[in-house]
Amino acid sequence: MKSLLLFILFVIFSLSITAQLKNKHVLIFTKNGKGYVHENIPASIAALQKLGIENGFTIDTTTNSALFTENNLKKYDAIIFSNTNNDVFDTEEQRVAFMRYIQAGGGFMGIHSASGTERNWKWFKLMLGASFLRHPPFQKFTVHVLDKNHPAVKNLSSQWETNDECYFFKEINPSIKVLLVSDISTVKEADSSKNIIPDVFGNRYPAAWCHEFDGGRILYTALGHNKEDYSNATYLAHIIEALKWVMDKPKPDYKKAKAKSSLIDEMKTF
């Protein structure tokens, strides 16, 4: 009886996800600038395309930043930077088009090395929520759900073990709401004389977060280095729940978009 009830709840949960994502339109951007390029990108694209088919939303994929124009971006409910890295925009116009998409109320999701993208653009780092600093060697550690009430993580297991790169960050935006944390008490550095990053987080370090920023809805996850993650049910549940939250909003309304430059007023409060 209990097994039947759990199965029924799973079916209802699956149908609710499909209903929320049906007919949505998503752009996956995987461009990398000069530097390290993750081998997981094809696996991440294939996994997201499969999730789109299963949940009724349409996926476009590109590495072409020339597609970042207002006319093109306005048709998307969300943009996913999947393992982008370093400088990915070629022109000021492309940066402004992306800013205006967010200001119009667009959804954004960053996966893994997206936090190493556009490291010299202050608005982008504030939008994403932090900037990549470094990581210890690839290894096993435990991920914990920090806020079980948030819709992006409430249906996930309260904790799970993963094999991944435990990312550390700099320039963390204090406005972010941390959703998942890595237990760094077991994380080992390559150099035993080096201390695990000392800061106010103690043994729990941010691994995924979200916030409403400059009109848009933003979620970032540091998890997902291993290409095998993109066929892992636990990780894919994390991704689809996150995407569901990012797109739970109206389509972008460009009457709200004000940016004419990618530079920001240092006194502005987002």
Closest by Cα among 144, 148, 176, 174 to 160 = 144
Domains observed in the chain: 24-57+64-253 (3.40.50.880)
Where are the strands (E) in 47-125, listed by range?
58-62, 78-82, 107-111
pLDDT at 196 over 90: no
Label residues 6-44 b or e (16+ Cβ within 10 Å = b). eeeeeeeeeeebeebbeebebbbbbbbbeeebbebbebb
State pLDDT tens for residues 111-153: 999 999 999 999 999 999 999 999 999 999 999 999 999 999 9
Among the listed ranges 3-7, 168-172, 218-222, which one has the minimum average pLDDT value? 3-7
Cα–Cα distance measured from residue 178 to residue 11, given in angstroms and rounded to the nearest whole number = 29
Alpha helices in 35-89 (DSSP H): 41-55, 70-73
182: β partners: 143, 205
State pLDDT tens for residues 66-99: 999 999 999 999 999 999 999 999 999 999 999 9
Number of residues that make up the chain: 270
Closest by Cα among 52, 50, 56, 89 to 73 = 89
State pLDDT tens for residues 21-33: 888 999 999 999 9
What is the pTM assigned to this prediction?
A: 0.91
How far lies 229's CA from each of 41, 45, 65, 82, 206, in Å? 11, 12, 26, 13, 19
Both tokens assigned to 226: 């291993």
DSSP string, 194-215: SPP--STTTTEEEEEEEEEETT
Q: How many helices (H) and strands (E) does the chain have?
A: 6, 11
